[in-house]
Amino acid sequence: MSAKHTFLTGVLLCAGAALAAAQEPPVLETAPPAKPLFVRWTAYPTASLSRYDFNNDVDQFEVRVYVELRLGSQEGPAVPDAVVTSLGERLDFVTDHYEKRIVTGKDARPAEIELEIALKGRPPLRERQPLPDWLVLAEPRPSVLEAGTDIGVHWQFDHFEAPVDVIAYDFKTGKELLRRVNEPGTSVVLPAAAIHSDTIIRLYVIQSWLYKRYLDGPAYARGSEVVVIPWSQVFFRTRGPARGGRP
């Protein structure tokens, strides 16, 4: 083979290799998988017989929803740009979490609650959670009561009883008047000796034990959970004992 033919063959082989390389698809760098989200979803079924005074927001029933959303783990940074909704309401981002007080109505208390988290670049997360129970104070009702007499405190659950914490304090001064922890029954007495006259008293009961379920799946960081804690409150005024004489 002549030197000329050898040279032409080499040129053709190089050209063919270059053409083949040009026709091969480029190697695309795959994006790393998205970090899981740490989600702490807390719901408080709330029965307020009144709020701040005996005649304000009477019989307001609501579910207070709080969602902590962090990237990667419980110690990760808060995620402020998600769209978080529950019971048809969009939650507001406040400082480092999402929250909303969702009024339901006394006779329309939901038996379950749902949560949806939408974040750009990820499929939405959807969860449903039963509300195992509602806790409602039955007595005292929001009113003006006379000091100097014991006040009976009664409460009830919609489905089954559980221990509660019972706390009462003077709303004007902050002085605690009653504290019972893990109370097993459905009633206690606020003694007359603890009741001041001409003031506002806030009394509330909250379930001592919480309902808790872990959220699992590749989209959730370890420790993600949903927590439900029912509670109820009332505000009432007190006045001095009735005196004899003309009304």
Per residue in 120-152, pLDDT (tens digit) is 989 999 999 999 999 999 999 999 998 889 999
Given a cut of 50, the residues of the chain with pLDDT beneath it are: 4, 7-13, 15, 17, 19, 243-247
pLDDT of residue 227: 96
pLDDT of residue 72: 95
pLDDT of residue 148: 87
Measure the CA–CA gap between 62 and 120, rounded to whole angstroms.
30
Q: Which among 215, 236, 211 has a CA at the least distance from the CA of 224?
A: 215
pLDDT of residue 7: 43
pLDDT of residue 11: 45
pLDDT of residue 32: 65
pLDDT of residue 162: 93
Measure the CA–CA gap between 224 and 103, rounded to whole angstroms.
26
